[in-house]
Amino acid sequence: MSTSRRPIIAARGENVDEEDVEDVLTSVEYAQQRRDELLRRNRVAFWFLGLCNNIAYVIMLSAANDILSNGKKSEETKSCREKITHRDCHAMSTGSVLLADILPGLIVKLTAPLYVQAIPFGLRHLIVVSLQFMSFFTVATSETVGMALFGTVLASIGSSLGEISYLSLASHFDNQIISMWSSGTGGAGIFGALAYAVLTDPFLLNISPRNALLSMLVLPIVFAVTYWLVLIVPTHIHRVSILRIRTYLVPNSSEQGRLGSRVAFERVEAQETSEDYRPLILSDSEDEESHHQSAHNRFGIREKIELAKPLVRFMLPLGLVYLAEYFINQGIFELLEFDCAHGFGLTPASQYRWYQVLYQLGVFVSRSSSDIITIKSVNLPLLALLQLLNAGLFFYDSLYFYVPHIFPMMLIIFYEGLLGGASYVNTFRAVHDEVGFENIHFWNLLFECSNFEDFQ
């Protein structure tokens, strides 16, 4: 029995075959599924990129006490003290680890806007992964404090280069990428600090700091797989061909930061009406692309300095928040020791590690809830003021022992993390919402210069 095709009368009076309509609908459905798959993969990839990029930095700070003791535990720190009459501290403060973890990265961030756009994203990722691997291995196998600090320097450089690179790359993707990246960096804090605390705590796995750091060498592998196998990089992004040396630099004619280019999945027609799927950088014509690109290329150092001025109102409050956190976390935490009866029986080293965990937990919670609770840019200085008040509170306790038990201290540390995470994510959101998009790649790079803590 033959099957007849029923014609469908179109709006113009034309007959359209029903099977043709079904084919079109099937194609649209496939395009929708493909687009959703790309979105899921890219969002998951950026979460892991944020996690892996910042985790070395976090682990180095969590291991600061162990780095300064070269991984060796003295008899005095193997158990809690029954009574505390004075504060114990290292001859070299944990702040030295902070400096090794911050200053090299700060130099990278301050100079990156002048040269980093000439380096392809793929090559940058290779450098970042290599530095992370070398940092873990160097610190774990070091025999001296100096060598351990050198390994920390490698982690700092890699994390800072990765941070400015992936945030710049994020502008080629949909709006939710920034939130995923932010959540991933918060996850790096809680996962890194918690993993190190669990591995080394005497009441848990009780692994030596050296072996704990060696176990972290799996992370650079995850980092590499995420970028090269999970992330779908837009087709207009400049790629390196291993056998072609010329591709190791981005030529001006094919800037990977072309501001008007759409990501590959954005070209699907059905997607163009949805706000959720539009990249952060978008233009309506190739002529506008050329205008943006040529405008970017003609900027000199003086022009770039002028471009930086509008960001001061965002950078200053964020910088103050980080300054207060550095003072607390790497200057005061090592002095906040509680005796056995008031410190849950934790050793001094364990107390320090769990302080880091609670701080990072606060950061993670605030960053992951950024889409639910948004703080207006006019209120960002208030966050800086609250964090400075926290710094005064911690400093006062280090002198006069006025907090009676470790539990309320842990709650305050969690609150400190909430303020830090909220300050970062809301400042970055404000930059994207309130500054012009014409030079957004350069805005991203300059904004990162105020982020002295590699996303905390």
Residue 267 included in any domain: yes
Amino acid 7: pLDDT: 55
With beta carbons less than 8 A apart as the criterion, state whether 151 and 134 touch: yes
Please give the backbone phi and psi of residue 88, each rounded to the nearest 5 degrees, phi first: -95, 140
Using alpha carbons only, what angle is made at residue 313 by residues 157 and 371, rounded to the nearest 5 degrees?
A: 75
Q: How far apart are the first and last CA of the chain?
A: 71
Show contacts of 139-146: CB within 8 Å, 24+ apart.
139/60, 139/63, 139/67, 139/213, 140/210, 140/211, 140/213, 140/214, 141/210, 141/214, 142/70, 143/70, 144/70, 145/67, 145/68, 145/70, 145/92
C-alpha–C-alpha distance, residues 38 and 233, integer Å:
10
Residue 95 included in any domain: yes
Residue 17 included in any domain: no
Residue 308 included in any domain: yes
With beta carbons less than 8 A apart as the criterion, state whether 222 and 238 touch: no
Amino acid 271: pLDDT: 40
Q: What DSSP string describes 334-352?
A: GG----GGGTTT--HHHHH
C-alpha–C-alpha distance, residues 123 and 129, integer Å:
10
With beta carbons less than 8 A apart as the criterion, state whether 185 and 53 touch: yes
C-alpha–C-alpha distance, residues 251 and 231, integer Å:
23
Residue 390 included in any domain: yes
Amino acid 157: pLDDT: 94
What burial letters (b/e) apply to 189-222, b meaning 16+ CB within 10 Å? bbbbbbbbbbbbbeeeeebebbebbbebeebbee
Residue 30 included in any domain: no
Q: Is 121 helix (H, G, I), strand (E, B) or coil?
A: helix
Which CATH number does the domain housing residue 384 bear?
1.20.1250
pTM for the model: 0.72
Residue 322 included in any domain: yes
Token pair recorded at residue 448: 């990162």
Digit-coded pLDDT (tens) for 198-219: 999 888 888 988 999 999 999 9
Digit-coded pLDDT (tens) for 133-190: 999 999 999 988 889 999 999 999 999 999 989 988 888 887 788 888 878 887 888 8
Domains in the chain: how many in total? 1
Domain hosting residue 398, numbered range: 41-448
Residue 18 included in any domain: no
Burial class (CB in 10 A: 0-12, 13-18, 19+), 77: middle
Q: Which amino acid is at 265?
A: F
Query: Which of the residues in the chain have pLDDT under 50?
Result: 1-2, 74-76, 253-278, 280-296, 452-456
Give, in order, the Cα–Cα distances in Å from 340 to each of 7, 77, 84: 85, 12, 9
Burial class (CB in 10 A: 0-12, 13-18, 19+), 276: exposed
